Chains A and B, each alone.
Chain A
Amino acid sequence: MEQFTMGTEVLYGFAKVFGATTLCYLVFVFLYRTRIVRRKKQSAAKKEEISQWIGELLFFDFGEASNREKEAYLLKKTQLREWIAVKENRELLVAQMLRLRLDVAGEAKNTLITLYKDLNLHLYAVQNLKSWRWEIVSAAILELTQMHMAEAYIPIRGFLNDKRKVVREQAEIAIISLKEEGIAHYLDTVKTEISEWQQLKIIEILKSRNQFNMPNFEKWFSAHNSGTIMLALRLAEAFGQSGVSSHLSDVIVHKQKEIRELGYSLVQKFGAEEVKPTMKLYYWKCSGDERLNILQAFYSMGNHEDVGFMEEVYHRETSETHLDLANKILDKLAPNRAKKDTNPIREAHDRPFEGMSTEEKGDRPPIKLVQGDTMSKMGEGTHGLSILNTYFDQDNFNRMLLLDAVSKTKDKEDISLLRLVVAKETNLAIKIKALEILRSFGINELEDVSKTVPLHDLIKESRATR
């Protein structure tokens, strides 16, 4: 019982504490809410006042106004200057002016910018550039950019390579927007990466300029910063600077893939004849994708002088896609010289899994084949040697496919290949397949196999013929 009485007292104590806390909380919330509402009302009243002021100052016509009106105008301006000495008021005014700046164009916009400058609001913004807080600096740069304050160009320039990304990107936009020479300075000094989005924004800003004496962007094609090169290439493309053609040779052999790809698009766009020798030299050193780019460039701007190179590609190339394109280019450049591709092996490559079960198909890589016409050009007696070059590099599956292709066409010229297969093949199943095909030709290879020329001799001969 005694314990119960004590417990009640404790509970009463707790209840009092919680009650008091709740009361304090409610009072706090009430006061805080009242304060917010009061501030909101004050802010709304101030906004209305500001709107009136802006409206009056914006459309005040000095020419038609009487002396009394002029005096009233000047008085209003002085009052406004005093009023904006308070930071809160100034921020409110700037926010409204920036908002209005987005809503109006033409003469009204110019007047608004003049008013902004008249009230020395740009000086406050420049002062904010010294803040250590990135959001204040960024907002100040944005404000100065939107109000076209060219005076702020020099102080903003200092933020070009700022380590804070938001500030840096804001400064980049500002530099390009504020002065015409900004883009050249930016490309000269930028050391950081330039995002794709930022590049697009920069191009958009420069394109929106009415009169823009653009620099020659090829100057930056050999810059150290890859972002600079990318942007310079995109700018040259956007402004149709076809004069950059002679400088694209370095770009298409640049170590960075994206730059090379952009370079090829410019080569095609401007029909850069000067780059052809580099592309021809570089072709055999580059990857498949780039080879396609080069071939596409030749497709769009090739002429009869490039037939030799294209024939070389046509003979040496091993990729189907590239061969098709090379064939098309040859058809275009020299229709009489290009030949139709009727190689059976290639046809088999188009349908490599025909007639096979799903299990047999498995997850195998496609066969790397040699173009059929190349073989036929190698002359009598060496037919099929190119196949041999690759045949013994293939796995068993692909070897079977090759033999399958040969069995379908039943070309007597393939007999030499089949004999070699019988002689050299180590896989019994494949060997049997080759024998069966030979039998279908009426040859019993078990008797004739000794007649076969050694493989390495044939390969040597083939290379010599080439």
Chain B
Amino acid sequence: MLYRTAMLVDDDLVFTTMLSRFLQQKKLRVHSLKDGRAAKSYLLDGRPDIVICDVVLPYHSGFELVKFIRKELELLVPIIMISSIDSENALNKSLVAGANVFLPKPLDLGVLSDQLAHFLKLEPSGNILTNKM
């Protein structure tokens, strides 16, 4: 069975590990990356089905990464931005940069689950409905 891939970019080790575990439970293959530079180089070859990234990252910020995905790579992959900067400004900036959703921290995994279901067409249990072709 082919899995869908999620690219997770966050420099917080514990949070990333926890989130990776959660995404794996949703039957997603997770590529966990620590900074914007690593994410950019991964994206040059890899094509994830969904991108989950933090706003504050080493080397390149989350906004820069999203702009890179949308403008330079011209990918239409769904992007979920997560940040502890819960402000109108951060929300607007992330949406203007090209993110589909902005989720503030503390992150409710139920909400994230709903977003994954929306973008990846998961069934309520969290399993993928259709396998990647």
**CB 8 Å contact bits of B8-25 with A (1 = contact, 0 = none):** 000011111110111001
Interface size on A (CB < 8 Å)?
A: 22
| A103 contacts B21, C-beta separation under 8 Å | no
Question: Are B14 and A50 in contact, with the CB atoms below 8 A?
Answer: yes
Closest B residue, CB atoms, query A53: B17
Binds A, one of B42-50, B62-70, B90-98, B103-111: B103-111
Find out whether the CB atom of A58 lies under 8 angstroms from the CB atom of B107. Answer: no
A7 within 8 A of B: no
User: A449 an interface residue at 8 Å Cβ cutoff?
Assistant: no
Q: How far is the CB of B121 from chain A (nearest CB, A)?
A: 22
Please tell me which stretch of A105-113, A163-171, A392-400 contacts chain B, meaning at least 4 of its Cβ atoms lie within 8 angstroms of it: A105-113
Q: Which chain A residues lie closer than 8 Å to B17 at the CB level? A: 48, 51-52, 54-55
* A105 & B107 in contact (Cβ 8 Å cutoff): yes
Q: With both chains docked as a complex, state the minimum distance between the C-beta of B16 and any C-beta of chain A, in angstroms.
A: 8
Nearest chain B residue, comparing its CB with the CB of A106: B108
User: With an 8 A cutoff between CB atoms, is B130 at the interface?
Assistant: no
Establish whether residues A100 and B21, one from each chain, have CB atoms under 8 Å apart when the complex forms.
no
Q: Considering the chains assembled together, what is the distance between the CA atoms of A109 and B106 in angstroms?
A: 9
Would you call A4 an interface residue if the criterion is a C-beta within 8 Å of the partner chain's C-beta atoms?
no
The listed residue (B18, B108, B110) touching A54 by CB distance below 8 A is B18
How many inter-chain residue pairs (CB < 8 Å) link A and B? 63
**A54 and B109: CB pair below 8 A?**
no
* Residue in B14, B25, B84, B109 whose beta carbon sits within 8 Å of that of A51 in the complex: B14
Residues of A within 8 A of B108 (CB): 104-106, 108
Query: CB of A102 within 8 A of chain B?
Result: yes
- A278 in contact (CB, < 8 A): no
Chain B: how many interface residues by the 8 Å CB criterion? 19
Mark each residue of chain B from 25 to 64: 1 if its CB lies under 8 Å from any CB of chain A, else 0: 1000000000000000000000000000000000000000
A105/B106 contact (C-beta < 8 A), A55-B20, A55-B21 known: yes
User: Which residues from chain B contact A99 at a C-beta distance below 8 Å?
Assistant: 12, 14-15
Q: Which residues of B contact A107 (CB under 8 A)?
A: 109-110
Cα distance A107–B25 in the bound complex, in angstroms = 15
Interface residues of B in 77-100 (CB under 8 A from A): 84
In the complex, what residues of A have CB within 8 A of residue B16's CB? Answer: 51
Chain B at the A interface: SS class = helix
Shortest distance between the CB of A350 and any CB in chain B (Å): 46
Chain A residue at smallest Cβ distance from B22: A59
Q: Which residue of B lies closest to A55 (CB)?
A: B21
Chain A residues contacting B18 (CB-CB under 8 Å) are 51, 54-55, 58, 100, 104, 108
Q: How far is the CA of A34 from the CA of B92 in the complex (A)?
A: 46
CB atoms of B14 and A96 under 8 A apart = yes
Q: Compute how far the CA of A52 lies from the CA of B24 in the bound complex, rounded to whole angstroms.
A: 13
Q: B25: which A residues are within 8 A, CB to CB? A: 59, 61
Chain B contacts of A250 at CB under 8 A? none
Task: Tell me the complex Cα distance, A288–B20, Å.
Answer: 65
Alpha-carbon distance A99/B15, docked complex (angstroms): 9
> 8 Å CB contacts to B: which residues of A54-108?
54-56, 58-59, 61, 96, 99-100, 102-108
Task: Give A104 Cβ to nearest chain B Cβ, in Å.
Answer: 5
Q: Which of A50, A56, A102, A105 has the largest number of chain B CB atoms within 10 A?
A: A105
Chain A residues near B12 (CB-CB < 8 A): 99, 103
Q: How far apart are the CA atoms of A61 and B25 in the complex, in Å?
A: 10
Contacts of B109 in A (CB 8 A): 104, 106-108
CA distance A184 to B68 in the complex (A): 55
Of B14, B22, B107, B108, chain A has the most CB atoms within 10 Å of the CB of: B14
B86 to chain A, nearest CB (A): 11
User: Contacts A55-B20, A58-B21, A59-B25: A100 and B14 contacting too (C-beta < 8 A)?
Assistant: yes
A269 within 8 A of B: no
Q: Which residue of B lies closest to A95 (CB)?
A: B14
Give the residue of A55, A103, A106, A109 whose beta carbon is less than 8 angstroms from that of B84.
A103
- Contacts A104-B109, A106-B109 hold; do A59 and B14 have CB atoms under 8 A apart? no
Report B-chain residues with C-beta under 8 Å of the C-beta of A54. 14, 17-18
Kindly state whether residue A47 has any CB partner on chain B within 8 Å: yes
Q: Contacts A108-B109, A109-B106 hold; do A103 and B15 have CB atoms under 8 A apart? A: yes
Question: Shortest CB–CB separation between residue A54 and chain B, in angstroms?
Answer: 6
Give B84's nearest chain A residue, CB to CB. A103
**B14 proximity list for chain A (CB < 8 A):** 47, 50-51, 54, 96, 99-100
- Taken residue by residue from 27 to 55, chain A's Cβ proximity to chain B (1 for < 8 Å, 0 otherwise) reads as 00000000000000000000110111011
Chain B residues with Cβ below 8 Å from A103 are: 12, 15, 84, 105-107
- Known A104-B106, A105-B107; judge A47-B13 contact (CB<8 A): yes
Q: Is the CB of A51 within 8 A of B107?
A: no
- In the bound assembly, the distance between CA atoms of A48 and B14 in angstroms comes to 7
* Extra 4 A-B pairs, beta carbons < 8 Å, given A48-B13, A102-B106, A108-B108: A54-B17, A103-B106, A106-B110, A106-B111
Q: Could you list 11 examples of A-B contacts with CB < 8 Å?
A: A51-B16, A55-B17, A56-B21, A59-B22, A100-B18, A102-B106, A103-B12, A104-B109, A106-B109, A107-B109, A108-B22
| CB-CB nearest 6 A-B residue pairs | A55-B21, A51-B17, A105-B106, A106-B108, A105-B108, A51-B14
